[in-house]
């Protein structure tokens, strides 16, 4: 396992980064998943959402990254972070430092999002370009897991707001910010881990397995 | 490298912080967290804005709540918090779903045993405020999201947001109200057990009455009737089955007028086939039978038909409730102290009924005072027949709890006399006459049921039988030199009220007192210091401190450590604010208006006081033996959960007004 990580994250940080950023990125690359992950309760999940100025990761840019922790069943605004990238061109070093801070915040915790492909591609592009790292964390994709775990509500993927409505959660009015969206994703995750446990899917690795299986199963259909 | 639960620590970077303008990755992370917290709180704020009391709170208060509150998910059927969860660490606010509150234990202490809570409702307010375990079991009945506001942040919010504070205060007040209703239900039950016409005959009238066999000679039967002082004799056979009854009217009609020899068997003179009822029949049945058959006695039999009791008309009358008007009339026309004694018992009974009918402590104590006043006035009137004070201005004064209209069932005498010496009159001779009159009156009051004052605060004590000028001088002296004895006296004598005679004299005393007291801050300060010497028995670890009375371990003196605190504080504020009333509730209400204390705040305080008073009444009535002096010592362990909780909240209110007093009078202990 450690060898694979070494292989995956083996690339070093960009040489032209400021020293403190370089050190932080190195710390992150060499880091291991923090703490215990034998159960959902003990696992530190980090829910991630992004804001961008378009839908294409190749040509469009990230304008914000939000992350919120769910740990021991609890979600708290206290355990949240927001990286504002709208003024990102002004000072490259400042942006790099913010991204390094984001890495420190998420550590090697499993990340949770809705439509991981979209979120992860944007993040990968940016982190590769700015910090010179291959960003390949463990992802849990709610878009695929929800139909697998709550098939009584829908057995195929639905738009996020439909899921929220199905669970009686308040979708709010207008567009949600990534931070606000994360708080809703986190609530879905809170419910999801309870259901997963009931189905015998007891830890993060199994959950990721379910997520992948569901994606394969439902895509091939 | 250091890794922790919250992502990666940043020690590797700190040494480089100087090289990039003083802000390193770790500091940036802290800033980004700040931003993240702020943004993530948005959802919570949106929720709070839709629910009372949060929608009335300031943006700063909402921000505090939203940033500090966690969100937890409870699937249907899961326990959220209960008595076994330890001290409650959070204020729970339901975001969505349904929560059921169920009382722990077998005894229902509130009128609800199961309560359903929905979105926007919060719990367990009492427990989180007190930092102790919840008394209820809270379970999610649907999938539920709850906000957890940590207890310390909850307390911060309580102290910084008046709207939130009011909400919680009112909630606690509603608990008080519930408990009061619960108490009333208990009283009602006890009252109905005692005295409705639905009671079974087995508990009414004489049990196992004397009976004679049918062949008993009349002479023997009459002799035993005379010996036993009874007006009728049951005639029963060898198996104790009643076959007749012989009454005084039978004696007249069938023996005397019929010239029946006294050696004839009683069966020849008795009324045969007497009316009997089974002992499970009700008092109402007996009353109906008496009315229908024109009889005065009903024989009561057990299930074998054997005689087990006799119910007379008089027994049934005693069952009927005594009314206020009858008691008043009885008091006002009582010919002697003996008759007043009976009325005093009726007062007690009537107070009990009123308690049962749901009258609060405030009204009840005033009511008891009113009837006790009537009793006292009648005792005075009766004694005035032997002591003539015509042409002299004088007034009988009540002090202490009687002076405050706050009598409970066990109140001893506290009284005095104020008088004016007529021009050219002999003051000493007049005083001796008043003392002689007072002594008789004090003794009679004792007979009627107001025990003599152990501290000799009675009109028959020359110290407290004074002219108007002497009283004024006495008050002035206490105020000018507030020594311990003076302060103690102030707590008794400054609560005076005219009971009989010229009330103008008492008014004059009051005006003098108020002008002197409010103009002497040193006195008020000394009173305040005195009042703060005893605090409510709230424990730091346990709920209550119960070892304050060495002679009664495990008990709390509800007067000394409860109601007296309110009374003392009220007195000081009343004196400072120039409030004429002596009643504590009146004093607090009126002085609050003048002293700019908020209405809600004072209502919570009064609820606390009323609850303590109600507990005292309950203790004296439900637990005391009838006719015996009740005490004020309760064992908090014996209270039910809800009462205990409310008692604690009531003590908190006591502490609250004490803190206020401490602030207002700059008392530093």
Could you tell me the pTM of the whole model?
Answer: 0.49
- Taking residues A13-39, report their average pLDDT: 81
Cis peptide before B53 (omega within 30 of 0): yes
Distance between CA atoms of B526 and B560, rounded to whole angstroms?
A: 19
Tell me how close the Cα of A171 comes to any Cα of chain B, in angstroms: 10
Judge contact between B400 and B375, C-beta under 8 A: no
Residues B625-648: what's their mean pLDDT? 75
List chain B residues with CB under 8 Å of A32: 3
**Nearest residue, CB atoms, A168 vs list B9, B38, B96:** B96
% of chain B surpassing 70 pLDDT:
84
Residue contact A77–B36, C-beta within 8 A: yes
B604 versus A75: which is more confidently predicted? A75
Tell whether the model's pLDDT for residue B540 goes beyond 60. Answer: yes
Question: With pLDDT > 90 as the criterion, what percentage of chain B qualifies?
Answer: 30
CA nearest neighbour of B147 among B242, B65, B267: B65
CB contact under 8 A, B145 and A187: yes
Taking residues B374-384, report their average pLDDT: 93
Looking at every residue in chain A, the average pLDDT score rounds to 86
Strands B114-117 and B211-212, how do they pair? unpaired
Q: How far is CA B292 from the centre of its chain?
A: 44
Query: pLDDT tens, B474-530?
Result: 999 999 998 989 999 999 999 999 999 998 899 899 989 988 888 788 898 899 999
Alpha-helical regions (H) of B49-86: 59-68
Stretch B324-345: mean pLDDT? 81
User: pLDDT tens-digit profile of B41-50?
Assistant: 888 888 898 8
Q: Give the pLDDT confidence of B296-331 residue by residue, as tens digits.
A: 788 998 888 888 888 887 777 655 545 556 677 788
Of A130, A65, A80, A95, the closest CA to residue B23 belongs to A95
Strand partners, B92: B123, B148
**A37, closest residue in chain B (CA to CA):** B5
- pLDDT of B121 above 80: yes
Task: In whole angstroms, give the CA distance from residue A196 to residue A192.
Answer: 6
Given B32, B46, B66, which is nearest A82 (Cβ)? B32
Minimum-distance CB partner of B13 among A23, A44, A169: A23
The whole-number pLDDT of residue B21 equals 52
Q: What is the pLDDT of residues B247-282, one digit of tens each?
A: 877 888 888 888 888 888 998 888 888 888 888 887
Q: In what order do the strands lie in the sheet with B144-150?
A: A139-141, A111-113, A45-52, A62-71, A74-84, B70-74, B144-150, B90-96, B122-123
Please identify, in words, the CATH class of the domain defined by A2-219: alpha beta
Average pLDDT over every residue of B98-120:
67
Among B112-116, B379-383, B387-391, the range scoring the smallest mean pLDDT is B112-116
* Alpha-carbon radius of gyration of chain B: 34
Q: What pLDDT score was predicted for residue B185?
A: 59
Give contacts of B49 with chain A, Cβ < 8 Å: none
Residue showing tokens 């302060």? B487
Among A74, A98, A184, select the one facing B28 at the smallest CB separation: A98
Judge whether A183 is closer than 8 Å to chain B, CB to CB.
yes
* pLDDT tens track for B205-250: 777 788 899 999 988 988 888 888 787 889 999 888 999 988 877 8
pLDDT at B274: 86
* Interface contact A107-B69, CB threshold 8 A: no
Predicted confidence band of residue A182 (pLDDT cuts 50, 70, 90) = very high
Exposed/middle/buried for residue A219 (C-beta within 10 Å: 0-12, 13-18, 19+): exposed
Whether A177 and chain B come into contact, CB under 8 Å, resolves to: yes
Query: Looking at residue B623, what is its pLDDT?
Result: 63
State residue A43's pLDDT score: 86
CB contact under 8 A, A179 and B40: yes
Q: What is the pLDDT of residue A8?
A: 52
- Interchain CB distance below 8 Å, B36 and A81: yes
The tens digit of pLDDT for each residue in B573-611 reads: 898 888 888 889 888 988 887 666 777 788 888 888 988
B180 compared with B238, residue with greater pLDDT: B238
**Interface-testing mutation among B25, B76, B94, B143, with chain A (most A C-beta atoms within 10 A):** B25
Residue B105: pLDDT above 70?
A: no
Give the dihedral sign, CA B632/B633/B636/B637.
Answer: negative
Rounded mean pLDDT, B633-662 = 86
Task: Write the pLDDT tens digit of every residue in B414-472.
Answer: 999 999 999 888 999 999 999 999 999 999 999 988 888 888 999 999 999 999 999 99
Q: Which among A26, A76, A105 is the nearest to B7, CB-wise? A: A105
Chain B within 8 Å of A93 (Cβ-Cβ)?
yes
Average pLDDT, chain B: 82
Indicate whether B383 pLDDT > 50: yes
Please name the member of A35, A83, A93 whose beta carbon is closest to the beta carbon of B20.
A93
What sections of B103-247 are H helices per DSSP? Answer: 125-130, 151-160, 162-195, 218-228
Question: In this predicted model, what pLDDT tens digit does every residue of B56-69 receive, in sequence order?
Answer: 889 999 999 999 99
Are the C-beta atoms of residues B497 and B395 closer than 8 Å to each other? no
**pLDDT at B193 (0 to 100):** 47
Whether residue A182 and residue B3 make contact (CB cut-off 8 A), yes or no, is: no
Q: Which of B17, B28, B70 sits opposite A74 (nearest CB)?
A: B70
CA-nearest residue of chain B to A193?
B73
Q: What pLDDT does A36 receive?
A: 67
pLDDT tens, residue by residue, A183-208 = 999 999 999 999 998 888 888 889 99
* Closest residue on chain A to B78 (Cα): A194
Q: Which two tokens stand for residue B253?
A: 């009609």
- List of chain B residues whose C-beta atoms are within 8 Å of the C-beta of residue A183: 40, 42-44, 71
A26, A104, A180: residue with CB nearest B10:
A104
| B-proximal residues of A, 99-138, CB under 8 Å | 100-107, 109
- Top pLDDT among A91 and B562 is at B562
Using a pLDDT cut of 90, give the percent of chain A over it. Answer: 48
Please state, in angstroms and rounded to a whole number, the distance separating the CA atoms of residues A187 and B543.
37
Do A81 and B32 make contact, defined as CB atoms within 8 angstroms? yes
Contact B39 A179 (CB under 8 A): yes
By residue count, chain A amounts to 221
Q: What is the CA radius of gyration of chain A?
A: 17
Q: Which of A13, A16, A20 is the best substitution to test chain B (most B C-beta atoms within 10 A)?
A: A20
Maximum C-alpha span of chain B: 134
Size of interface A-B (CB pairs under 8 A): 173
Centroid of chain to Cα B507 = 30
**CB-based contact B32 A101, cutoff 8 Å:** yes
């Amino acid at each position: 396992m450690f060898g694979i990580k070494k292989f995956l994250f083996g690339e070093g940080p960009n040489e032209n980064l400021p020293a403190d950023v370089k050190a932080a990125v190195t710390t992150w690359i060499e880091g291991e998943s923090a703490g215990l992950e034998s159960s959902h309760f003990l696992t530190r999940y980090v829910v991630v959402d992004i804001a961008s100025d378009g839908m294409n990761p190749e040509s469009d840019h990230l304008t914000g990254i939000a992350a919120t922790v769910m740990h021991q069943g609890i979600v708290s605004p206290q355990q949240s972070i927001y990286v504002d990238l709208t003024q990102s061109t002004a000072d490259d070093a400042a942006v790099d430092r913010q991204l390094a801070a984001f890495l420190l915040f998420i550590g090697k915790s499993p990340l949770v999002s809705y439509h991981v492909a979209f979120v992860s591609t944007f993040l990968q592009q940016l982190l590769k370009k700015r910090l010179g790292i291959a960003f390949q964390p463990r992802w849990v994709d709610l878009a695929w897991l929800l139909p697998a775990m709550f098939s009584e509500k829908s057995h195929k993927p639905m738009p996020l707001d439909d899921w929220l409505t199905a669970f009686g959660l308040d979708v709010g009015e207008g567009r949600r910010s990534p931070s606000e969206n994360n708080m809703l994703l986190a609530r879905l995750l809170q419910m999801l881990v309870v259901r997963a446990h009931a189905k015998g899917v007891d830890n993060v690795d199994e959950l990721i397995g379910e997520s992948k299986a569901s994606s394969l199963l439902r895509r091939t259909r | 490298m250091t890794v922790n639960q919250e992502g990666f620590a940043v020690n590797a970077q700190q040494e480089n912080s100087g090289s990039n303008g003083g802000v390193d990755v770790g500091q940036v992370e802290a800033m980004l967290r700040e931003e993240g917290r702020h943004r993530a709180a948005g959802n919570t704020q949106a929720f709070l804005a839709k629910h009372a009391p949060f929608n009335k709170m300031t943006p700063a208060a909402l921000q505090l709540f939203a940033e500090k509150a966690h969100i937890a998910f409870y699937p249907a059927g899961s326990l959220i918090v209960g008595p076994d969860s330890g001290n409650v660490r959070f204020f729970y606010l339901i975001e969505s779903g349904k929560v059921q509150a169920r009382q722990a234990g077998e005894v229902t202490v509130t009128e609800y045993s199961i309560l359903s809570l929905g979105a926007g409702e919060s719990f367990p307010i009492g427990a989180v405020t007190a930092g102790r375990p919840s008394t209820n079991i809270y379970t999610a009945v649907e999938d539920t999201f709850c906000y957890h506001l940590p207890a310390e942040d909850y307390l911060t919010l309580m102290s910084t947001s008046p709207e939130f504070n009011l909400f919680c205060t009112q909630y606690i007040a509603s608990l008080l109200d519930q408990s009061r209703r619960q108490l009333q239900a208990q009283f009602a039950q006890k009252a109905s057990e005692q005295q409705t016409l639905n009671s079974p005959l087995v508990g009414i009238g004489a049990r196992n009455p004397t009976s004679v066999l049918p062949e008993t000679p009349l002479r023997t039967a009459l002799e035993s009737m005379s010996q036993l002082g009874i007006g009728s004799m049951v005639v029963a056979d060898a198996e104790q089955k009643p076959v007749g009854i012989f009454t005084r009217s039978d004696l007249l009609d069938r023996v005397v007028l019929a010239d029946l020899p006294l050696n004839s068997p009683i069966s020849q003179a008795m009324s045969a086939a007497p009316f009997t009822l089974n002992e499970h029949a009700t008092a109402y049945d007996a009353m109906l039978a008496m009315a229908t058959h024109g009889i005065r006695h009903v024989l009561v039999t057990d299930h074998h038909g054997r005689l087990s009791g006799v119910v007379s008309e008089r027994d049934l009358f005693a069952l009927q409730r005594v009314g206020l008007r009858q008691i008043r009339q009885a008091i006002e026309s009582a010919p002697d102290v003996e008759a007043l004694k009976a009325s005093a018992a009726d007062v007690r009974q009537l107070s009990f009924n009123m308690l049962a009918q749901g009258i609060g402590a405030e009204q009840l104590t005033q009511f008891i005072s009113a009837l006790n006043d009537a009793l006292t006035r009648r005792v005075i009137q009766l004694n005035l027949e032997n002591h003539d004070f015509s042409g002299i201005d004088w007034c009988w004064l009540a002090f202490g709890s009687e002076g405050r209209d706050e009598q409970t069932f066990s109140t001893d005498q506290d009284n005095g006399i104020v008088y004016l010496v007529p021009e050219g009159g002999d003051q000493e001779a007049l005083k001796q006459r008043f003392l002689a009159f007072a002594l008789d009156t004090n003794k009679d009051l004792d007979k009627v049921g107001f025990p003599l004052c152990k501290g000799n605060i009675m009109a028959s004590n020359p110290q407290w039988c004074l002219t108007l000028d002497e009283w004024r001088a006495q008050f002035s002296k206490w105020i000018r030199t507030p020594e311990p004895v003076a302060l103690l006296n102030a707590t008794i004598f400054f609560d005076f009220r005219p009971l009989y005679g010229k009330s103008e004299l008492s008014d004059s005393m009051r005006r003098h007192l108020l002008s002197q007291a409010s103009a002497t801050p040193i006195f008020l300060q000394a009173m305040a210091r005195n009042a703060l010497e005893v605090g409510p028995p709230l424990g730091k670890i346990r709920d209550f401190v119960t070892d304050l009375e060495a002679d009664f371990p495990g008990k709390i003196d509800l007067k000394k450590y409860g109601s007296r605190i309110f009374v003392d504080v009220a007195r000081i504020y009343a004196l400072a604010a120039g409030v004429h009333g002596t009643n504590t509730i009146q004093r607090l209400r009126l002085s609050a208006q003048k002293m700019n204390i908020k209405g809600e705040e004072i209502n919570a305080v009064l609820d606390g006081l009323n609850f303590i008073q109600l507990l005292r009444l309950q203790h004296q009535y439900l637990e005391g033996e009838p006719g015996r002096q009740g005490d004020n010592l309760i064992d908090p362990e014996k209270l039910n959960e809800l009462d205990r909780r409310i008692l604690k909240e009531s003590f908190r209110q006591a502490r609250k007004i004490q803190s206020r007093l401490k602030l207002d009078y700059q008392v530093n202990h």
